[in-house]
C-alpha cells in the first residue's frame, strides 16, 4: 500500500522520474543496438568468408590410394553437397612460337578439369578470353609465352615426348594460392607460391597426356577431390570454424590415410574469427564508453533530484518508516524505472536498428536478438540500482536532511586530486599506449590453424585509463580555474556583467564543483562523439583508399594479356564525358633473381595525384618526394620492402632485372638504380612489385605499350562513367569501377556495415552531447531556482538573473567543447593506434569530419543556450511560491 | 517624500489563488496605508493571509482586484531601493559569502563593487556581524542568517522594511535578537517597519498591531496608519 502511495507521489512529479528513465533507456538502447550490430557483423563475416572461398575442401588423395574410393568417401560426407575430381600434372615447361619467335617457360602445372567443374566451382576460374571449356592458358603464362587464342603451345613431360595443344582461351585463376596449395602442410608453415605457368585441360585430354607420365613418374601427378559444403553454419565465425575444421578432421579419420583435407573454408573462417574479435574490440572501444557516459549522465540527473528525495525520505523517517521500508521503496522505484527504461531502450534500439541496418532484429538470429535485448535490459536495471537504490539506501543510513542541503560551499580538495590520480592515470595510459603502439604489437592474436584465439585485453587498458584520467583532469582544470582564477574571470565577465562581474565570478567560484561536474560530462560527451566520428571517418577514408589501391582509380581500364594500347587510347578515353584525367600505366613482369614480380611503368610527375598515392604507400619521405626522385633519375626504381631487405639495397645501388624484349621476346638484363621502397601501389599485389619510369622501360624493352588506364572521374558517377567507357571499349578491355570494387575488396571486417554503425554511433553521441550540454545544466539550474527567486525578490531583473545563468552556461559550454575536443583528439589517436589491425592500409593521418564536429558543437551550444533560456524564463515566475517552500 | 505622505496605500485589495470551487481568498478587500516611521505588527494565525498581504505591499505579487500605490516612492524602482524584504525561510544566496550577500542589493542597483562592499561592511558592523563577513550561508546559524538578511535589507537605506515571519524558524532567544536587530536597523535608517508574525512576543515590540483573520484585515482605531477590511 505504501509502495503504491509512494509511486503515485513520484508520478505526480514526473520530470525527474522521466529523465532518469530516459537516461537509462539511452544506455540500454545503445548497448542493444551495438550488440545487435556485433552479432550481425559476425554473421556477415561468416557469410563473407563462405562467399570468398571458391572450393571449400581440397581433398588430396594419398599416393597409391584409389581416387574413386576417396571421391566416394568425400561425396558421402553429410556436409558435402558436390564434388569434382581434379588432376594435377607437372610439366617441365611450356613453349610457343609466336610472331616468328620461340618462347619457353620454366616448370609449370597442367590441370585436368571435368566438364562440370566450372559450374560446380564458378569462383575458381575466370574467363578472360575465349570459351569456358577447352585448352585454357593462365593469364601470366599467356603473357610469358606471348600466346593467345589459336596459338599452339608445347607441354614438356619428364622422360616423355612433349605434346602440343591449341589454345582455346585465356583465363585468370583468382584463387591460385589455395588451388595450388600443398595440402597437409603443418599450421604456420610458409605458404607456397602458386606456379608461374599453368595450363587447364579437359579431363579426358589430361588423362591422354599424363596417364603415361603417371605410369613412369607417379610423383609428378596427383589427384584432388574438390568439395562444396552445406553452408548452413553457426553465425559466429569462431563457431563456424570449429564446426568446419572438426568435420574436416572427421573426414580424414574416415579416409584412414587415403586422403588429406585442404580446408579452405576453415582457413577463411580462421581469418574471419580474428576480424570478429576486432569487431568485438570496436564494440568495446566505441560502444562501451557511450553506455558508461549515458549511465554517468543518468546518475547526474538522478543526483540533481537527490535533495528532494532526501527530504522525502526524512519525512518518511519522521513518520516511522524504517531503513528496510525506505530500501524497499527505493528498490520498487528502481524496478519500475529499470523495467520502463528497458522497454523504452529496446524499442528505441529496434527503431535505430531499422533506421541504420534495415532490420528490426537486434542480432543475427531472433534468439541472439532476445539475448542481447535481455542483457542490455539487465544492464539498465543495474544502472537504475546504482543511481536510485544505492544512494537512497546510503542516504537513509548516513545523512540528515540538514546535511543534505550542502550543495555548494567550501569543499575540501578530493583525495584523488590531492594525490594526483588523474596524472597517474594519464601516465599509465601513456605507458600502455607506448607498449601497444610498438612495432609487432597485435591486438587480436589468432594463430593460424589454432582453435584458440584471443584479444589482448591489456590494450583496452590504454583507452580506459585515458578516459578516466582525462575525465578527472577536465574536472581538475575547470575546478582549479574557477577556484583560483576569480580575478581573470571577473575581467572576462566585465563586458557582459558590468558591476555584477565580481559577484558572478564569486558565485561561479563557489559552485565550482557543480560546474566542473557539468563541464566534465559535456567534455566527455564531446570527446566520445568526436573520437567516434573521427575514428569512423578515418576508417571510411581508409576503406576508400583500400578500394582505390585494389581498383587503381575511380575507373580502371585493363587491356587483356599481351595486348598493349597506344597513347592515343588515353586521349580517346579522356574525351568521354565525366572523365577528368587519364593516367597511363605500363604493367610488365620482371625477374628479380629467380622471382617474377609485377613491374609498373609510370609517369612520375603525374602518378602521385592521378593514382591518389598516399604518403603511407612509400618510405623515406612523402609520396611527392619519392616520386620526384624517380622523375630526376631516369633509371630509378622503387622496390618492395622485402626485396630491399633480401638484397640489402641502399639508395643509389644498381640492380639488374630481366625484362622481356619486345622484338626478341626473350628476357634481357636491364639495370636500374634503387631509389626507395614502395609499400603499396594501385592495382599492385600486396607482397612484391616494382615501380619505375615508363619512359625508361619503354626504351630498355622497345615497348611503350600501355596495359592499364587509371581514369579519374573526380569521384563522381563512377558507375555511369564506367558504363560509358565499357560502351566505348567493348570487349577489348576490362573496365572496373571503384564503387563496385568497394563491395568486394578488403578484409571481412570492411564487409561489415560500418556505415550503419557510424550512423547509430553518431546519433547516440549527438544525443549524449546534447543531453550533457543542455539537460545537466538545466537540471542544475532547476535546483538553483530558489537562488533565482531570492535574487528576483532582492530586485534583480531578468537581464541580471541571465548574467548569472549565462556565465554558468558559458563555463560549461566553452570548457566542455575545448576540453572535449582535446580529449577526443588524443583518444582518436590512441584508438587508431590500438586498432591499427582494422585499417588496411594504416592511415597516414586522421580524417577529421569537420561538418559533423561543427554540427555537434553547435548542437551542444544550442542545447546549453536553450537550457539557460528556460532557466531564465523560470525566474520570471513569481518568486513567492519558491521562497515559501523553504 | 513628504513626512505625511503614505509609503504604501491599498484600496480594496484582494488576492485569490486558484479558480472555481477550489479558489482560495488569501486577502479580501484590504484597505490601508503605511506612513513613514511606522512600527507595525501584522498578526494572525498561520494561513490568515499575512504573508500574502506583505508580498502585495512589497510589490512582489499583484492583487486580483483593488489597487496598491506607493505615493511617497513614485518614480523609484521598489527593489532594490526603498522597500526591503526579509523572509521567513533562509534567503541568503548559497554561493555568495556574507559580505557579497549583503552587498548584492546595491550591486543590482549598479553601484560599484568596492563601494557596495564598503556599505555592506557598515551595515554588518551596525548589527555586530563583522566577524561573519567571509562566512558562507551554510556556515551560519539560523539566527545569524536572519540577522545577515536584516543587514542586507538595511544596506540600500530603505524607507520601508517588510519582514515576513523573520523569527518563525528561530528559538525565542534568537527571535528576540533578530527583532531587536530589525527595530534598531529601521531606527538607524529612519525606515518604517512592518513585521508579519504570529508570535505575540515579537508583536509586543511594535507600536501598532494589525490583525489578519481569514484574509480580512482588522486595524484598531484610531491609528496613524489606517487600514480597514
Question: For A822-843, how does the pLDDT look when each residue is reduced to its tens digit (9 = 90+)?
Answer: 999 998 888 888 777 677 667 7
- For residue B94, the chain A residues in CB contact (below 8 A) are 407-409, 510, 787
Q: Please say whether the beta carbons of B163 and B196 come within 8 A.
A: yes
CA distance linking residue A649 with residue A643, whole number of Å: 8
| Residue among B107, B152, B154 with most chain A CBs within 10 A, to mutate | B107
What letter would DSSP give residue A546? H
Q: Is A689 helix (H, G, I), strand (E, B) or coil?
A: strand
Q: Has residue B222 got a pLDDT over 80?
A: no
- For residue A407, the chain B residues in CB contact (below 8 A) are 94
Average pLDDT score, chain B: 84
B103 at the A interface (CB within 8 A)? yes
User: pLDDT-based confidence at A34, cuts 50/70/90?
Assistant: confident
Chain A nearest-CA distance from B96, in A, is 6
Q: Please say whether the beta carbons of A653 and A690 come within 8 A.
A: no
**For A83-134, what is the HEC assignment?**
EEEEEEEEECEEEEEECCEEEECCCEEEEEECCCHHHHCCCCCEEEECCCCC
Chain A nearest-CA distance from B169, in A, is 11
CA distance linking residue A45 with residue A43, whole number of Å: 5
Mean pLDDT across the stretch A572-589? 88
Mean pLDDT across the stretch B90-119? 88
Mean pLDDT across the stretch A739-753? 55
Grid cell locating A722: 564506367
Q: Among the residues of A771-839, which ranges form H helices?
A: 776-783, 785-793, 798-834
Q: Do A883 and B87 touch (CB under 8 A)?
A: yes
Q: Do B89 and A880 touch (CB under 8 A)?
A: no
Q: Has residue A408 got a pLDDT over 60?
A: no
CA distance linking residue A386 with residue A172, whole number of Å: 62
> Cβ neighbours of residue A34 under 8 Å, at least 6 residues apart?
A283, A286, A287, A757, A760, A761
pLDDT score recorded for residue A868: 82
- Comparing A158 with A876, which gets the higher pLDDT? A158
Q: Among the residues of A319-456, which ranges form H helices?
A: 323-357, 366-384, 390-398, 401-404, 415-418, 421-437
Tally Cβ neighbours within 10 Å of residue A313.
Answer: 22
- CATH code: domain B36-59+75-209 is 3.40.50.300
pLDDT score recorded for residue B27: 92
Q: Do A502 and B80 touch (CB under 8 A)?
A: no
What single string gives the DSSP state of each residue in B114-183? HHHHHHHHHHHHHTT-GGGTT--GGGS-HHHHHHHHHHHHHHT--SEEEEESTTTTS-HHHHHHHHHHHH
Average pLDDT score, chain A: 82
Q: Please say whether the beta carbons of A369 and A362 come within 8 A.
A: yes
pLDDT score recorded for residue A822: 94
Q: Has residue A742 got a pLDDT over 70?
A: no
Q: What is the CA radius of gyration of chain B?
A: 17
Mean pLDDT across the stretch A592-606? 85
Grid cell locating A379: 544492464
B96 at the A interface (CB within 8 A)? yes
Q: Has residue A227 got a pLDDT over 90?
A: yes
B118 at the A interface (CB within 8 A)? no
CA distance linking residue A92 with residue A692, whole number of Å: 32
Per-residue pLDDT tens over the stretch A483-532: 888 889 889 888 888 888 888 898 888 888 888 988 998 899 899 888 88
**Residue of chain B whose alpha carbon sits nearest to that of A514:** B95
CA distance linking residue B155 with residue B122, whole number of Å: 8
Q: Do A795 and B81 touch (CB under 8 A)?
A: yes
pLDDT score recorded for residue B144: 87
pLDDT score recorded for residue A745: 46
Q: What is the CA radius of gyration of chain A?
A: 35
Per-residue pLDDT tens over the stretch A298-345: 787 777 666 667 777 777 777 777 778 888 888 888 888 889 999 999
Q: Do B138 and A408 touch (CB under 8 A)?
A: yes
Q: Do A796 and B112 touch (CB under 8 A)?
A: no
Determine the Cα angle at A744 with ends A743 and A745, to 5°: 110
**Burial class of residue A5, CB neighbours in 10 A (0-12, 13-18, 19+):** exposed
Q: Is B215 helix (H, G, I), strand (E, B) or coil?
A: coil
Antiparallel, parallel or unpaired: β B216-218 and B39-43: unpaired
pLDDT score recorded for residue A736: 81
Grid cell locating A156: 614438356
Mean pLDDT across the stretch A239-246? 91
Tally Cβ neighbours within 10 Å of residue A388.
Answer: 27
Per-residue pLDDT tens over the stretch A713-738: 887 788 888 888 888 876 567 788 87
Query: What ranges do the domains of chain B cover?
Result: 36-59+75-209
User: What share of chain A has pLDDT > 90, as a percent?
Assistant: 21
Q: Has residue A696 got a pLDDT over 90?
A: yes
pLDDT score recorded for residue A401: 47
Q: Do A499 and B138 touch (CB under 8 A)?
A: no
Give the least confident one: A87-96, A257-266, A378-387, A537-546: A537-546
**Burial class of residue B67, CB neighbours in 10 A (0-12, 13-18, 19+):** exposed
CA distance linking residue B87 with residue B182, whole number of Å: 12
Q: Which of A406, A503, A509 sits opposite B107 (nearest CB)?
A: A503
- For residue B91, the chain A residues in CB contact (below 8 A) are 790, 793, 883
Q: Has residue A664 got a pLDDT over 90?
A: no
CA distance linking residue A178 with residue A555, whole number of Å: 29
pLDDT score recorded for residue A188: 56
User: pLDDT-based confidence at A662, cuts 50/70/90?
Assistant: confident
CA distance linking residue A436 with residue A225, whole number of Å: 44
Q: Please say whether the beta carbons of A853 and A765 come within 8 A.
A: no
Determine the Cα angle at A202 with ends A200 and A205, to 5°: 105
CA distance linking residue A548 with residue A746, whole number of Å: 11
**Residue of chain A whose alpha carbon sits nearest to that of B155:** A794
pLDDT score recorded for residue A407: 45
Mean pLDDT across the stretch A192-220? 89
CA distance linking residue A790 with residue A507, whole number of Å: 14
pLDDT score recorded for residue A210: 93
Q: Do A500 and B81 touch (CB under 8 A)?
A: no
Beta strands (DSSP E) in A175-257 are 198-202, 221-229
pLDDT score recorded for residue A746: 45
pLDDT score recorded for residue A206: 94
- For residue A409, the chain B residues in CB contact (below 8 A) are 94, 136, 138-139
Give me the sheet containing A136-138, strands edge to edge: A126-129, A169-172, A136-138, A198-202, A108-113, A80-91, A221-229, A57-61, A259-263
B46 at the A interface (CB within 8 A)? no
| Residue among A405, A482, A503 with most chain B CBs within 10 A, to mutate | A503
Q: Do B139 and A409 touch (CB under 8 A)?
A: yes
pLDDT score recorded for residue A592: 83
pLDDT score recorded for residue A86: 95
Chain A nearest-CA distance from B108, in A, is 6
Grid cell locating A11: 508520478
Q: Has residue A750 got a pLDDT over 60?
A: no
CB half-sphere exposure, B155, CA atoms < 13 A: 34
pLDDT score recorded for residue B18: 81
Q: How far apart are the first and last CA of chain A?
A: 29
Q: Do B93 and A790 touch (CB under 8 A)?
A: yes
Q: Please say whether the beta carbons of A118 and A171 come within 8 A.
A: no
Q: What share of chain B is helix, strand, coil (3-state, %, to 5)?
A: 35, 25, 40
Mean pLDDT across the stretch B115-141? 89
pLDDT score recorded for residue B4: 61
CA distance linking residue A393 with residue A411, whole number of Å: 23
Per-residue pLDDT tens over the stretch A59-105: 999 988 899 999 999 999 888 999 999 999 999 999 988 777 788 88
Mean pLDDT across the stretch A132-139? 88
Amino acid at each position: 500500500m505504501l509502495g503504491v502511495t509512494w509511486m503515485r507521489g513520484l508520478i505526480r512529479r514526473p520530470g525527474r522520474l522521466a529523465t532518469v528513465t530516459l537516461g537509462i533507456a539511452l544506455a540500454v538502447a545503445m548497448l542493444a543496438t551495438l550488440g545487435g550490430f556485433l552479432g550481425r557483423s559476425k554473421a556477415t563475416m561468416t557469410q563473407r568468408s563462405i562467399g570468398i572461398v571458391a572450393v571449400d575442401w581440397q581433398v588430396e588423395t594419398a599416393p597409391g590410394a584409389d581416387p574413386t574410393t576417396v571421391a566416394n568417401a568425400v561425396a558421402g560426407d553429410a556436409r558435402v553437397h558436390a564434388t569434382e575430381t581434379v588432376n594435377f600434372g607437372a610439366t617441365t615447361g611450356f613453349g610457343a612460337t609466336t610472331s616468328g619467335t620461340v618462347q619457353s617457360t620454366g616448370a609449370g602445372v597442367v590441370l585436368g578439369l571435368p566438364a562440370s567443374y566450372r559450374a560446380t566451382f564458378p569462383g575458381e576460374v575466370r574467363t578472360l578470353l575465349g570459351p569456358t571449356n577447352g585448352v585454357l592458358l593462365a593469364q601470366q603464362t599467356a603473357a610469358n609465352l606471348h600466346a593467345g587464342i589459336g596459338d599452339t603451345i608445347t607441354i614438356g613431360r619428364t622422360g616423355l615426348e612433349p605434346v602440343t595443344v591449341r589454345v582455346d582461351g585465356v583465363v585468370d585463376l583468382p584463387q591460385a594460392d589455395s588451388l595450388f596449395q600443398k595440402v597437409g602442410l603443418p599450421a604456420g608453415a610458409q605458404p607456397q607460391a602458386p606456379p608461374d605457368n599453368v595450363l587447364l585441360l579437359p579431363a579426358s585430354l589430361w588423362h591422354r597426356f599424363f596417364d603415361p607420365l603417371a605410369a613412369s613418374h607417379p610423383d609428378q601427378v596427383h589427384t584432388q577431390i574438390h568439395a562444396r559444403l552445406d553452408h548452413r553454419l553457426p553465425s559466429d565465425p569462431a563457431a563456424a570454424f570449429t564446426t568446419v575444421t572438426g568435420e574436416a578432421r572427421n573426414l580424414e579419420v574416415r579416409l584412414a590415410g587415403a586422403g588429406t583435407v585442404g580446408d579452405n573454408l576453415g582457413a577463411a573462417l580462421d581469418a574471419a574469427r580474428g576480424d570478429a574479435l576486432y569487431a568485438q574490440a570496436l564494440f568495446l572501444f566505441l560502444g562501451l564508453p557511450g553506455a558508461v557516459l549515458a549511465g554517468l549522465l543518468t546518475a547526474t540527473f538522478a543526483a540533481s533530484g537527490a535533495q528532494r528525495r532526501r527530504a522525502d525520505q526524512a519525512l518518511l523517517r519522521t513518520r516511522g518508516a524504517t531503513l528496510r521500508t525506505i530500501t524497499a521503496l527505493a528498490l520498487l522505484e528502481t524496478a519500475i524505472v529499470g523495467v520502463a527504461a528497458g522497454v523504452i531502450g529496446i524499442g528505441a534500439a529496434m527503431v535505430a536498428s531499422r533506421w541504420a541496418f534495415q532490420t528490426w532484429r537486434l542480432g543475427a538470429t531472433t534468439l541472439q536478438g532476445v539475448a542481447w535485448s535481455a542483457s542490455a535490459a539487465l544492464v539498465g536495471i543495474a544502472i537504475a540500482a546504482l543511481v536510485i537504490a544505492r544512494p537512497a539506501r546510503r542516504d537513509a543510513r548516513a545523512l540528515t536532511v540538514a546535511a543534505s542541503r550542502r550543495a555548494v560551499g567550501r569543499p575540501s580538495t578530493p583525495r584523488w586530486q590531492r594525490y594526483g590520480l588523474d596524472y597517474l592515470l594519464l601516465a599509465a595510459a601513456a605507458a600502455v599506449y607506448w607498449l601497444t603502439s610498438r612495432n609487432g604489437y597485435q591486438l587480436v592474436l589468432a594463430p593460424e590453424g589454432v582453435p584458440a584465439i584471443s584479444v589482448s585485453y591489456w590494450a583496452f587498458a590504454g583507452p580506459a585509463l585515458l578516459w578516466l584520467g582525462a575525465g578527472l583532469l577536465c574536472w581538475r582544470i575547470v575546478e582549479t580555474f574557477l577556484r583560483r582564477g576569480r580575478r581573470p574571470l571577473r575581467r572576462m565577465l566585465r563586458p557582459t556583467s558590468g558591476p555584477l562581474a565580481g559577484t558572478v565570478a564569486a558565485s561561479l567560484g563557489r559552485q565550482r564543483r557543480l560546474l566542473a561536474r557539468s563541464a566534465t560530462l559535456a567534455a566527455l560527451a564531446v570527446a566520445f562523439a568526436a573520437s567516434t566520428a573521427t575514428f569512423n571517418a578515418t576508417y571510411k577514408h581508409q576503406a576508400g583508399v583500400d578500394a582505390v589501391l585494389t581498383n587503381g582509380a575511380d575507373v580502371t581500364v585493363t587491356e587483356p594479356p599481351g595486348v598493349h594500347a597506344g597513347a592515343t587510347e588515353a586521349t580517346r578515353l579522356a574525351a568521354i564525358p565525366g572523365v577528368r584525367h587519364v593516367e597511363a600505366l605500363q604493367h610488365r613482369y620482371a625477374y628479380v633473381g629467380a622471382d617474377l614480380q609485377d613491374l609498373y611503368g609510370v609517369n612520375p610527375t603525374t602518378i602521385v595525384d592521378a593514382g591518389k598515392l598516399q604518403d603511407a604507400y612509400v618510405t623515406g619521405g612523402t609520396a611527392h618526394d619519392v616520386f620526384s626522385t624517380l622523375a630526376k633519375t631516369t633509371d630509378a626504381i622503387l622496390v618492395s620492402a622485402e626485396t630491399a631487405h633480401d638484397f640489402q639495397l641502399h639508395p643509389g645501388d644498381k640492380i639488374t632485372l630481366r625484362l622481356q624484349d619486345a622484338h626478341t621476346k626473350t628476357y634481357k638484363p636491364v639495370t636500374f638504380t634503387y631509389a626507395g621502397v614502395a609499400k603499396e601501389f594501385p592495382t599492385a599485389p600486396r607482397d612484391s612489385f616494382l615501380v619505375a619510369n615508363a619512359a625508361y622501360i619503354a626504351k630498355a624493352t622497345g615497348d611503350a605499350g600501355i596495359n592499364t588506364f587509371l581514369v579519374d572521374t573526380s569521384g563522381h558517377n563512377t558507375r555511369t562513367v564506367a558504363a560509358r567507357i565499357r560502351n566505348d571499349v567493348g570487349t577489348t578491355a576490362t573496365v572496373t569501377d571503384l564503387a563496385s570494387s568497394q563491395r568486394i575488396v578488403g578484409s571481412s571486417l570492411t564487409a561489415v556495415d560500418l556505415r550503419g554503425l557510424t550512423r547509430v554511433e553518431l546519433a547516440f553521441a549527438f544525443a549524449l552531447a546534447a543531453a550533457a550540454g543542455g539537460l545537466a545544466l538545466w537540471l542544475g539550474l532547476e535546483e538553483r531556482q530558489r537562488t533565482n527567486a531570492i535574487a528576483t525578490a532582492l530586485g534583480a531583473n531578468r537581464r541580471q538573473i541571465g548574467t548569472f545563468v549565462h556565465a554558468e552556461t558559458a563555463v560549461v559550454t566553452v570548457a566542455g567543447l575545448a576540453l572535449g575536443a582535446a580529449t577526443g583528439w588524443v583518444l582518436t589517436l590512441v584508438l587508431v593506434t590500438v586498432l591499427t589491425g582494422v585499417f588496411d592500409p594504416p592511415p597516414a593521418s586522421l580524417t577529421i569530419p569537420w561538418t559533423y564536429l561543427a554540427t555537434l558543437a553547435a548542437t551542444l551550444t544550442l542545447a546549453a543556450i536553450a537550457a539557460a533560456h528556460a532557466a531564465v524564463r523560470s525566474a520570471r515566475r513569481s518568486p513567492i511560491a519558491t521562497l515559501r517552500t523553504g | 517624500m513628504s513626512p505625511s505622505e503614505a509609503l504604501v496605500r491599498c484600496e480594496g485589495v484582494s488576492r485569490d489563488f486558484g479558480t472555481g470551487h477550489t479558489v482560495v481568498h488569501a486577502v479580501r478587500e484590504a484597505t490601508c496605508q503605511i506612513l513613514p516611521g511606522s512600527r507595525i505588527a501584522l498578526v494572525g494565525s498561520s494561513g490568515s493571509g499575512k504573508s500574502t498581504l506583505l508580498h502585495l505591499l512589497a510589490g512582489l505579487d499583484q492583487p486580483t482586484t483593488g489597487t496598491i500605490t506607493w505615493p511617497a516612492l513614485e518614480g523609484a524602482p521598489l527593489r532594490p531601493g526603498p522597500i526591503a524584504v526579509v523572509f521567513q525561510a533562509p534567503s541568503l544566496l548559497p554561493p555568495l559569502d556574507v559580505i557579497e550577500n549583503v552587498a548584492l542589493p546595491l550591486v543590482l542597483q549598479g553601484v560599484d563593487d568596492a563601494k557596495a562592499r564598503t556599505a555592506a561592511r557598515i551595515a554588518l558592523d551596525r548589527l555586530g556581524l563583522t566577524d561573519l563577513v567571509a562566512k558562507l550561508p551554510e556556515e551560519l546559524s539560523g539566527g545569524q542568517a536572519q540577522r545577515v538578511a536584516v543587514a542586507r535589507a538595511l544596506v540600500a537605506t530603505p524607507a520601508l522594511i517588510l519582514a515576513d515571519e523573520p523569527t518563525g524558524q528561530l528559538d525565542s532567544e534568537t527571535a528576540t535578537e533578530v527583532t531587536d536587530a530589525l527595530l534598531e536597523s529601521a531606527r538607524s535608517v529612519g525606515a518604517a517597519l512592518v513585521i508579519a508574525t504570529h508570535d505575540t512576543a515579537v508583536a509586543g515590540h511594535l507600536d501598532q498591531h494589525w490583525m489578519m483573520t481569514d484574509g480580512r484585515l482588522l486595524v484598531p482605531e484610531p491609528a496613524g496608519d489606517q487600514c480597514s477590511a
